[in-house]
Amino acid sequence: MVGPAKLAAYLGLMVRAREPRYVGHNPAGGAMIVVLLLLLAGVCATGLLLDTPRLRDSGFKEVHDLLTDATVACIVLHVAGVAYASWRHRENLVLSMISGRKRSPHSSSG
C-alpha cells in the first residue's frame, strides 16, 4: 500500500515530468484503483438502499448521484493518467493490460 507521502512525492515528480516508470501500477494509479473501488462500493450500497421502499425518499438518491458523478470523474482522470503515462514512457499501456506483457524495468524510458 502506498501512503499519502509517497503518493504526494510521485505526483510532484509527475508535475515536473520526472516520475519513474513502474512495471506495475504507479502510486497514482494504485491510489486511483482504491478510490474507484470505494466509490463503486458506495454506488452499489446506495443503489441497494434506494431499492428499499422505506428509504427511497430519504436522501440516498442525492448521495447516490454524487457518488456516481464522482466515479465518472475518477474514470476520466484514470483514462487521462493512462494516456499520459503511455505517452510519457513511450509504451502502450492498454496493450500491456491486454497482453500482460511490459518492457523490462531496466529498459530505458525515453
- Whether residue 71 is contained in a domain is answered as yes
Q: pLDDT value at position 76?
A: 97
> How do the pLDDT tens digits run along the chain, 110 residues long?
678 999 999 999 999 999 998 888 899 999 999 999 999 999 999 999 998 888 777 888 899 999 999 999 999 999 999 999 999 988 888 888 888 888 777 665 44
The DSSP code for 91 is S
Domain that holds residue 88: 26-99
Residue 60 lies in a domain: yes
85: Cα separation from own chain's centroid: 13
Within a domain: 108: no
Residue 81 lies in a domain: yes
Q: Is there a domain that residue 31 lies in?
A: yes
The answer to whether residue 15 sits within a structural domain is no
Domain membership of residue 11 (yes or no) is no
Instruction: Judge whether 38 lies within some domain.
Output: yes
pTM, two decimals, is 0.82
Q: How many domains does the chain have?
A: 1
Q: What is the pLDDT of residue 100?
A: 83
CB 78 within 8 A of CB 32: yes
